Chains A and B, each alone.
Chain A
């Protein structure tokens, strides 16, 4: 049980850290100052949430520290979805990814809020309040860019086709899920989570004139939940840990 819970917590922590990292790369380069500032706040909150989840992992382990989990693991130990490790392409793609991720995160936190593991239920309840605004931000941008001009619509449809196969990886499960569902620690299966997520995003996408592409679930090799990642993660972690690796024993 402990191992399955740990795995679930790492997924959440890694998702939040890696998407927060990607969002933070926009700081200073948004399409206008107001959106720049808003996305930057979201980035900070995601990284903050990652730290809270890493702290919980340390509690389950009975040792360790969040920075070591974030900066000291090889790529194969990360459990985030491949979707969040992809480099930022254009603003539209980043905001579409944000929207798809936030819908999933909302569904996930709803389940976590019912967890029999009390610290997780409490944390999920608190995080849902912040995440609500992230979702509103993402939805507003998807609606706007999907339907505003012919060019923005075309670009967003192309973006959706590009990210959709990766997005399937969000709702992939592992053996841990069955254990957690049985025990009541996280009373939902990946299939139910996938349904909740798909239904959630489909409505907004349809209203934004962005038809859901027809693709098979998770293309071969996209198994972030099992620690199988792309070279994009190698590059991301290579950069993210570069200062710390100068002297991993030093205080920074």
Chain B
């Protein structure tokens, strides 16, 4: 792997940038700037981590899902997230880091996962909020990344978006059942919406400063839309789902501005997002410890599988 601190050959770099600017995509094995490779790897590895960590809040509710069909659907949904991690780790591997290494990076806290998966899922209504709004937020980012310049990532993103769209539909069914339900069910849902609001705003990251780095990421199409653009896209689609069902967004400053076609909202506490980013969220330590624990408990199984592979070969 080339080191990004090396100066790239200016001619090759210019040629690469021209290709990407023309909408072409980069395949595995083709020349790419060292920094591009490193940034793509960081992005895809974090995405893969987020899928595997994203299984954790929801899986807690599989044993408690309140009907047989909800139980099957939730198991299938969490299974899809685990499957997405598999696809994404495979894409990340094409950029030069092994899955074993990436799993070690994750559980030892050396790499990141998305902010929303550092929070607890306290009630059954959290399942609805996660499936509709967290997956809905992820859809905005991932939908944009279908036109990422890294071709293997863009291809996997198409498949993932297809499945995520289905999760949102399933989630909406859970959501509407609670929304049309008893006062207690509605109160549970309002409580979950209130707790998830700030993490959802945080999901898209801080408003972008026009830094040379962000500019380069956009130019290289490792980032397709700005953080604020994606956040607004999310608010346009999902605020009405909250309000039309008679629930309240916990932000008195939230309003639709007709002139700019944007939502105005109160700035969330960005320090909280930074803390979460350092694995200091409410559930970060507990979830990483649980992953480490299972990793240790499965040591003998991994050794057996590896040995068996050798025996069978």
Contacts and interface: CB of A to CB of B under 8 A. Distances in A.
A75 interface: no
A92 B304 CA distance: 11
Q: What interface size band does chain B fall in?
A: 35 or more
A242 B124 CA distance: 10
A57 to B, nearest CB: 13
Interface stretch (A20-28, A99-107, A174-182, A212-220): A20-28
Q: What interface size band does chain A fall in?
A: 35 or more
A144 B62 CA distance: 29
B32 to A, nearest CB: 27
A40 B301 contact: no
B275 interface: no
Interface stretch (B72-80, B108-116, B212-220): B72-80
A21 B65 CA distance: 10
B78 A27 contact: yes
B151 interface: no
Which of B86, B300, B302, B307 has the most A CB atoms < 10 Å from its CB? B300
B181 A33 contact: no
A41 B79 contact: yes
B303 interface: yes
A144 B304 contact: yes
Given A27-B75, A148-B311, A246 B300 contact: no
B177 A47 contact: no
B132 to A, nearest CB: 16
Given A144-B305, A247-B184, A27 B72 contact: no
B304 A37 contact: no
Given A34-B86, A40-B75, A149-B304, A27 B62 contact: yes
Interface stretch (A63-71, A116-124, A191-199, A222-230): A63-71
Nearest to B81: A28
Interface string B273-313: 00000000000000000000010011011111101100100
Contacts of A133: none
Contacts, number: 131
Contacts of A17: 68
A37 B52 CA distance: 12
Given A40-B75, A149-B300, A31 B305 contact: yes
B67 A71 contact: yes
B262 interface: no
A28 B290 CA distance: 11
Contacts of A155: 300
Interface string B39-76: 00000000000001001100101111111111110011
B66 A37 contact: no
A36 interface: yes
Contacts of A50: 68
Given A90-B297, A244-B67, A43 B182 contact: no
B68 A24 contact: no
A20 B59 CA distance: 14
Interface of B: 52, 55-56, 59, 61-72, 75-76, 78-79, 81-83, 85-86, 89, 124, 177, 180-182, 184-185, 294, 297-298, 300-305, 307-308, 311
Interface of A: 17, 21, 24-25, 27-29, 31-34, 36-37, 40-41, 43-44, 47-48, 50-51, 54, 66-67, 70-71, 90-92, 144-145, 147-149, 151-152, 155, 236, 239-240, 242-244, 246-247, 250-252
Given A91-B297, A236-B63, 17 more contacts: A24-B63, A27-B79, A28-B78, A33-B89, A43-B75, A44-B76, A47-B71, A144-B308, A145-B301, A151-B304, A152-B300, A242-B64, A243-B66, A247-B185, A250-B181, A251-B177, A252-B66
30 contacts: A17-B68, A21-B71, A24-B63, A24-B71, A27-B62, A28-B55, A33-B86, A33-B89, A34-B86, A40-B75, A44-B76, A44-B79, A51-B69, A67-B68, A90-B301, A91-B298, A92-B301, A144-B308, A147-B308, A149-B307, A151-B304, A152-B303, A152-B304, A239-B63, A243-B64, A243-B124, A250-B181, A250-B185, A251-B181, A252-B70
Q: Sort A-B residue pairs by CB-CB distance and give the 4 closest, nearest first.
A: A148-B304, A252-B66, A152-B304, A28-B55
